[in-house]
Every structure is written in C-alpha cells, then in structure tokens.
Chains A and B, each alone.
Chain A
Amino acid sequence: MTATATSARSDLSELGRSETALRTFLHGLPGVDQVGAEQRAAQLGTRSIKTSAKAQAIDLAIRMVDLTTLEGADTPGKVRALAAKALRPDPADPSCPHVGAVCVYPAMVPYVAEVLRGSGVHLASVATAFPSGQAPLEIKLADTRAAVEAGADEIDMVINRGAFLAGRYAEVYDEIVATKQACRDAHLKVILETGELATYDNVRRASWLAMLAGGDFIKTSTGKVPVAATLPVTLVMLEAVRDFRAATGRQVGVKPAGGIKTTKDAIKYLVMVNETVGADWLDPDWFRFGASSLLNDLLMQRTKLTTGVYPGPDYFTLD
C-alpha cells in the first residue's frame, strides 16, 4: 500500500517559512505506487451496493453534491433556477434532501445568495482567476474578497500550477495563505487541477502543500481540462488527508470534481472514502462532489428505488 509515513509529529507550520524547508518536506514524501493505486481504486470500484444501502448512499451523495454551473453563458435566471433546484432537487418528493452547496462564478453569487439565504445550502464561488489561475496576486485576492462580500461562504481557489510545476512551492504556498486570509470566515477549497499535475507524486505533494497552507478542502479539478477527477487521484488525495490528520490533528475535506456523471461512479467514490479514511469523512462537511449532471442521475436512481419504476431524463430539469 501507498501509506504515507509521517516521520514525526514535527511542527509542520514552520515549513512555510522557507522554500528549502518546503521542498525538502514535499520531496521527502514517499512516492506513490502508481500501479498499486490504480489497482486499489479499481478493486474498490467493484463493490456491489444494493437496496437499502444504495438508498442511503444515494441520499448521502445528494447531500454531498456541489451543484455547479461555470459557463460563460450563465445568467441570473439560470443560476436562480439552479439554486431553486438545490433546495428541492426532486419537487415530487419532499423526503429528498437538499444538496450540499451551489457553486457559481463570483458575478453570479448575489443572485444565488437571495435564494439560498437561511436554507442550510452552502454557497460556493470559484475565485482567483478561475480556471487558469494565471493572474497577478492582487487580482486573485480582489476576486476572492468580492465573492465573500457578495455572500459566498465557500471559496474554490485554483493553485498556481505554473509555479507548482516549476518547483516554486513557496510562491504557491504564500498564495494559498493570502487567499485564506482574504476568505475570512469562508471555507477555502483548494483546486489542485490534477489533470495538469501529470504524476501521482505531484498530486500528493500538491495535496500536502495545500493542507499545510491552510486549505479546508482539497479539490481535484476545475472541470475545464480534459482529465478531471479519477478514482486513483482521489485515492491519493484521501490518503493525504488521512495522513495529514494523523500528523497534525486537523481534518481536511476532499472534493472530486468533473467527470462524475452517474450514481454508480458516485457510489464508487463513497466506498473509497469509507475504505480509505473511514466514516469520519462520510459527511457533506468533509466530502463533496463537484458536479452538475450527476444530480439528475442520482434523482433518477432514487425515484427507481422509491417507486420501482425507471424514470427517464424527461422528468428532471436540465440545469
């Protein structure tokens, strides 16, 4: 197995002080056994979850969905409709839980905030020059502050992959710290964009870097590059949050995003969470799905379980 051996309960908060210390620590993390991680993820994907367990998994997955729309064509009307759907995903069934959060661009936050106020559904906004993250720091921070002021209580930031891949870890670290400060009370989700990180070793390093810098969640992807969330990548990240809690006592959430479209996929992730980090993470506060079309499939499967009849996509809203 690919467990990370955390050498000692050293004071990890000191690491951010110097580039050298960070580099030594991140490159000292054990390498990921690529074949092992992929095989483990594939194996966990073969579990059969049926009947009442499936019903429970579906409801949990619905509560974990970050219902997302990040399109240039988003309009106030569209995001309001999405927020209404987040509150009552299945209007025909009052027992259906609401989703975890709605995730939109900063400019759309005020419209969603009106609808969600007092409902318990969180309001997430992407920020820091999403999705590329290639903008000056002041602009990224202003982006973040604007989103928080408009009412977002969760911020999805992107890390500076250019700096990360070039090995300028301190720069990435400092950006995350600065963004965390700009977030004030809002939760900070750090998007690693694993599709651009090339190796599992990099995913592990980026995960630790984000957690060391104070991220409350680590998220796989923006959904804007061809390779989004995969099971092995999420496995590596789950191992990182597990080991991070063992080393520091602080629990960090995980959010796979992009490419998760079916109930079957979602249940595979839930199985992996349970088997890798345990039931502590099986909660919308610690695990989320960044998705849009996933919700409809969950609702269709839920309807099948409650009515015994397979419904069709015609019976659910498109966005």
Chain B
Amino acid sequence: MSERVAVRKTYKLFIGGKFPRSESGRSYLVQDSNVSLASRKDARDAVVAARAAAKGWAGATAYNRGQILYRVAEMLEGRREQFVALGVPADEVDAATDRWVWYAGWSDKLPQVYGGANPVAGPYFNLSAPEPTGVVAVAAPESPALLGLVSVIAPAIVTGNTVVVAASPSAPLAAVTLAEVLATSDLPGGVVNILTGHPKETVPTLASHLDVNAIDLTGVADADLATELEVSAAQNLKRVLRPAPAGHDWSADPGITRMTALLETKTVWHPKGV
C-alpha cells in the first residue's frame, strides 16, 4: 500500500466568522506552516466585520453571552491535545480554558458590581448601567501564546464588545487554532476577528481607524510605538489600554479592570412617586 500523502494545513485569518487568506496574498512560515500575513486592507475588512457584528452581540442577553463563553471553554477543552501538539504547555491550555469559564461567569454579574442605583437629591430613580464601548482593537501579547490571547479577548467580548485582534507574530498557530474553537462555539461571526502577521503593519491602521472605539495596546512592547499609537488613537478619542511597563503576570488573578476599561456608563433618571 502506498504511503499516505500528508494533509498540510494553511493557517488563515479569521474575519467575520470565515477563514479568508490575506487579501494581499502574502504568507510567512511559522513552525513549518504557512500563515497568512495580514495587510492594512485585511485590518479594515476586519473592522467592517466587527462593526457589523457589534449590534447583535451587544444586544444579546448577558446570560446568552455567558453561555457562549462557557461553550468556548468546552470546545477548547476538547482540543487540548491539539494545542499541546502546537507547543502550548498543557497547564497553559488548562489555565486558558479556566479563564474562559471565569469570564463567562462575569457576564451577568458585572452590571451589579460596576453599575447600580445612585442616591440623588430629587424624586428620581437614578441608575447607572455599563454598556459595551463597541469595536475594540487589540494587540495581543507576544507570549504566552494561548493564555495571553484568551486573557485579552475574553474580557473585551464578555461585556458585548467586538474585537479585532492582531495576534502574536511568533505564535500565530495557537491563535488560528483558537479561532477554530471560536468558530465552532456559537459565537456569532465577526465578534472576534484575528489577524496574523506583523502587528506593526496592522495595529497602526487600527489605531487611526475612526470606526474603532477602543484600543488595547497590551502586546506593544516598544514604548515609542505605543506612544505613537496612542497619539493616533486620540484622533477620535478611543479608549486606550496601555501596556504595563513591568509586563503582565498572566497566571495571576486577572481582576475586573480589563473588562471595565472597555465600558461606557449609561445613567438613566426615572421619575418616581407619580
């Protein structure tokens, strides 16, 4: 019997729930696999997809969003071996799975912690409720490949934002495999969009894009570049999450700041006693 021909895999982008090649046709080699090299145009297409998905995702009930994030954890658990084969340590995969569960639990609890009734001097109920900011651009940390990526995506989407992520250039395989997990988790297409390649090409486009509402610069190691990006983000007053100067400890308790940094507050005055 002849030897079986290997089925080689091309790692493509994840935009609008689909896996397209880069519009530029470019690719680069990582761990012997071809990975799409996203262009500025791909970044723009991803923003369009994220914007299209924003309304439906923000309008889904918190309960539903929590269920879907939990479903992501389930699917990730099922693909544990695949990530290990890509070189992600087993305990990192477990930690990443747990992180999805942890954030899934926050979906219907954050409004109580971060919003609430305000005492006011008048006959009104005064209520503040957190609302998603909209489309969030994310520069994912260089490493850890999976846990770092999950730790920036989950807090942004759990509250109803949609994201365009520039994945770590050195570890795109884990990012695309995570995209496959997301694509099979009932997550609506366009809520998470992942661009592989050089963040230096795509992130400046996202930072200056006027249809992006917030940018998370966590993965930008170069301080000058981070400043430059923050300046272009200022053009339409994007919310900016700065990279931590001392680096991040991704295994520590994440706290709620990553979620609350990407929220708006809506306050409603409602007359009472009538």
- Check if B210 is an interface residue, CB within 8 A of chain A: yes
Docked pose: A310 CA to B40 CA in angstroms: 10
- Check if A94 is an interface residue, CB within 8 A of chain B: no
Residues of B within 8 A of A312 (CB): 51, 209-212
- Check if B44 sits within 8 Å of A310, measured CB to CB: yes
* Nearest residue, chain B, Cβ from A310: B209
* Nearest residue, chain A, Cβ from B209: A310
Docked pose: A291 CA to B86 CA in angstroms: 50
Number of residue pairs A-B, CB distance < 8 angstroms: 25
- Check if B177 is an interface residue, CB within 8 A of chain A: no
The main secondary structure of chain B at its interface with chain A is helix
- Flag B199-210 by CB within 8 Å of A: 1 or 0 each: 000000100111
- Check if A8 is an interface residue, CB within 8 A of chain B: no
Docked pose: A310 CA to B210 CA in angstroms: 6
List residues of A (282-308) whose CB comes within 8 Å of B's CBs: 308
List residues of B (226-240) whose CB comes within 8 Å of A's CBs: 232, 235
Instruction: State the Cβ distance, B208 to closest chain A Cβ, in Å.
Output: 5
Size range of the interface on B? 10 to 19
- Flag B14-53 by CB within 8 Å of A: 1 or 0 each: 0000000000000000000000000000001001000100
List residues of A (173-207) whose CB comes within 8 Å of B's CBs: none
Instruction: State the Cβ distance, B73 to closest chain A Cβ, in Å.
Output: 33
Residues of A within 8 A of B47 (CB): 310
Instruction: State the Cβ distance, B267 to closest chain A Cβ, in Å.
Output: 22
Docked pose: A312 CA to B51 CA in angstroms: 10
Residues of A within 8 A of B210 (CB): 309-312, 314-315
Residues of A within 8 A of B232 (CB): 309
* Nearest residue, chain A, Cβ from B43: A310
- Check if A249 is an interface residue, CB within 8 A of chain B: no
Docked pose: A44 CA to B226 CA in angstroms: 42
Residues of A within 8 A of B51 (CB): 312-313
Docked pose: A71 CA to B259 CA in angstroms: 43
* Nearest residue, chain B, Cβ from A303: B210
A309, A310, A311 — which one has the most chain B CB atoms within 10 A of its CB? A310
Docked pose: A308 CA to B208 CA in angstroms: 9
Docked pose: A316 CA to B208 CA in angstroms: 17
- Flag B110-137 by CB within 8 Å of A: 1 or 0 each: 0000000000000000000000000000
Selected A-B contacts with CB under 8 Å, 6 pairs: A309-B208, A310-B205, A310-B208, A312-B210, A314-B210, A315-B210
Q: 6 smallest A-B Cβ distances: which pairs?
A: A312-B211, A310-B209, A309-B208, A311-B210, A312-B210, A310-B44
Known: A310-B210, A312-B212; 13 extra A-B contacts, CB below 8 A, are: A309-B210, A309-B232, A310-B47, A310-B205, A310-B208, A310-B211, A311-B210, A312-B51, A312-B209, A312-B211, A313-B211, A314-B210, A315-B210
